[in-house]
Structure 1
Amino acid sequence: MADYQLTVAPNGARRQKADHPELPITPQELAQTARACAEAGASTLHLHVRDDAGGHSLDAGRYRAAMAAVADAAPNMGVQITTESAGIYAPETQLACLQALRPAAASIAVREMARAPEVAVRAYGLCAEAGTQVQHILYSPACVAQLTSWYADGVVPAAMRDVIFVLGQYAPATPGRPDGLADFVSAAQTLDLSWSLCAFGRDERACLLAAIQAGGNVRVGFENNLETPEGRVLKDNAASVAALVKAAALAGHTLKRN
């Protein structure tokens, strides 16, 4: 049996209210969601913010507003911003977001930063200077290989060993499957990583339980999935968190809180 930590990703970059009425968009909605998810067992919020049209944004002012609202509503919850491009932003804009915020924690997609290696050097160097806890987003074993190369070349500081493996994808819509975890674990076995897992689709819970069993942490929420394993629509993000915590407890695993 294993101990694990749980992050919630309540909205992501693409879904809208039309996908689920309880998808949080505004700072106030994100704050309410953070409080409910913290009570259900989540220790960290993976934060996306949106522009006035509901589109994905890396605007520092919008991040500051959302982070302040979350801090008021759930003061013990960690907040991790994302620098993900979602097919919109160049690495230079992702770096500018990090420069403006110097956040406590941020996720950075290795394959996105690899588009501009000189920007990657600056981004990881800035995070090291600012004390930002970087979580490398790894979409495939090829991303693990890129990260391995960057460790060897000194692009990524050796101490930055926090990663998240991603099973499945948005487009084309590809659900995650538990058996996909083995390829990531095998590719990363020599790197001494602190790893988490997220997964797309209604098999999300099965994927995350497999990750916990294998010694990883997990990320759950509406960014990746809106359904129960049986195909019913989840009430909200807190319900998603609570269901995973219950399933993990029944399997004998122990949730670690902040």
Structure 2
Amino acid sequence: MKKKVIVTCAVTGAGDTAKKSPHVPITPVEIAQSAIDAAKAGATIAHIHVRDPKTGGISHDPALFQEVVERIRESETDVILNLTSGGGGDWIPSEKNPVIGGPGTDMQTPEERHEPIAKMLPELCTLDCGSLNFGDQLYISTTDWLRKQALLIQQCGVKPELECFDTGQLRFAKQLIDEGLIDGDPMFQFCLGIPWGAEADAETLIYMRDKLPKNAHWSAFGIGRMQMPMAIQSMLLGGHIRVGLEDNLYLDKGVLANNAQLVERAVTIMAGLGTAPMTPEEARKHLGLQNPHRKAEI
């Protein structure tokens, strides 16, 4: 177990959770403030999605990402920003014609998914490493799309966090490395407990950890009630951790949480085990990240 670990806070996500908790941030102001609060509570990294400010639903608007990023940077709160580039992959077949996407379908090209990354040049961005039966819908991220997206990320000098929701996605992430599309020591995130991906249990986590390249950095999270157990299990097995309202809405049974409270809970448990969160500056050196204040040339 490491003496210091990276703590990621996944601030809001894209799921239909805004109606389930008043603490889920929706507007750019709320998302930025929640990320700042999480950083002050001990988060090393803030993982950022944006939402439609009027509906609370999913959005991919680069202008919303820009406002969130600028608000966080202008606050002078030191936190590593990890923007999602996995949006626009939701496919729900139409009942009348499965060739056509039905209500709830939301698809983007690799170039469209990459647009907020190219515009804001965060230190990190996610790369979801395959397609998946994601609950009652299909998340689509084909191998050719992923190769194109990985190249776009590589060309703009952002480090990808390789999101693996199942074991086959871990295999393909390693293929991207073998093809030279991932620079430096790779960074993996194991996303556990999503219906119907890899299970959130120690056996699955150990299996996936043991399949990693020797020079890999890695983290893991579980959803719902498995958030804290999998965060601490990841730490005990030598990885980093992720908590936040994207994955879980509750601090205790029946008690809704905010992001800072979830980070504080994780940090408190870590302290009892003799571990502390890395500072953003320590994590930048550990992961080999680019200058956080560089500007896009577009």
Q: Which residue of 1 aligns with 2:264?
A: 242
Map 1:72-83; keep pairs closer than 5 Å.
72-73=74-75, 75-83=77-85
Q: Which residue of 2 aligns with 1:149?
A: 175
Deviations 1:127-154 (A, max 9, x none): 2222101111011111111112222233
Structure 1 pair 179–231 and aligned structure 2 pair: CA distance change class (3 A): farther
Structure in which a larger fraction of residues adopt helix: 1
Deviation at 1:203, TM superposition (A): 2.1
2:21–2:256 contact (8 Å) kept in structure 1: no
CA distance in 2, matches of 1:204, 1:58: 26
Map 1:163-178; keep pairs closer than 5 Å.
163-169=188-194, 171=195, 176-178=200-202
Q: Which residue of 1 aligns with 2:254?
A: 232
> Could you tell which deviates more after superposition, 41-50 or 219-228?
219-228
CA distance in 1, matches of 2:164, 2:260: 26
Q: Which residue of 2 aligns with 1:182?
A: 206
Report the number of matched residues.
253
Map 1:63-102; keep pairs closer than 5 Å.
63-73=65-75, 75-85=77-87, 87=90, 88-92=106-110, 93-102=112-121
Q: Which residue of 1 aligns with 2:163?
A: 137
Deviations 1:74-124 (A, max 9, x none): 53111111012351233432134434444332111011585151x433322
1:161–1:194 contact (8 Å) kept in structure 2: yes
TM-score by length of 1: 0.88
Structure 1 pair 194–164 and aligned structure 2 pair: CA distance change class (3 A): same
Q: Which residue of 1 aligns with 2:186?
A: 161
1:45–1:80 contact (8 Å) kept in structure 2: yes
1:195–1:216 contact (8 Å) kept in structure 2: yes
CA distance in 2, matches of 1:152, 1:105: 20
Structure 1 pair 135–220 and aligned structure 2 pair: CA distance change class (3 A): same
Matched, 1:111 2:130: yes
Deviation at 1:192, TM superposition (A): 2.2
SS at match of 2:73: helix
> Could you tell which deviates more after superposition, 128-137 or 157-166?
157-166
Deviation at 1:66, TM superposition (A): 1.1
Structure 1 pair 216–142 and aligned structure 2 pair: CA distance change class (3 A): same
2:39–2:77 contact (8 Å) kept in structure 1: no
Q: Which residue of 2 aligns with 1:123?
A: 149
The correspondence for 2:230, drawn from 202, 207, 221, is: 207
SS at match of 1:202: helix
SS at match of 1:111: coil
Deviation at 1:173, TM superposition (A): 10
Q: Which residue of 2 aligns with 1:192?
A: 215
Identity percentage of aligned residues: 22
CA distance in 1, matches of 2:78, 2:155: 24
2:41–2:264 contact (8 Å) kept in structure 1: yes
Structure 1 pair 185–19 and aligned structure 2 pair: CA distance change class (3 A): same
Structure 1 pair 181–100 and aligned structure 2 pair: CA distance change class (3 A): same
AA partner of residue 167 (structure 2):
P
Map 1:28-43; keep pairs closer than 5 Å.
28-43=29-44
1:138–1:165 contact (8 Å) kept in structure 2: yes
TM-score by length of 2: 0.77
Which 5+ residue runs of structure 2 have no aligned equivalent? Answer: 91-105, 132-139, 281-298
Report the aligned-residue RMSD. Answer: 2.3
Structure 1 pair 141–70 and aligned structure 2 pair: CA distance change class (3 A): same
Deviation at 1:201, TM superposition (A): 1.5
2:7–2:240 contact (8 Å) kept in structure 1: yes
Structure 1 pair 102–121 and aligned structure 2 pair: CA distance change class (3 A): farther
1:174–1:200 contact (8 Å) kept in structure 2: no
> Could you tell which deviates more after superposition, 96-105 or 50-59?
96-105
2:7–2:241 contact (8 Å) kept in structure 1: yes
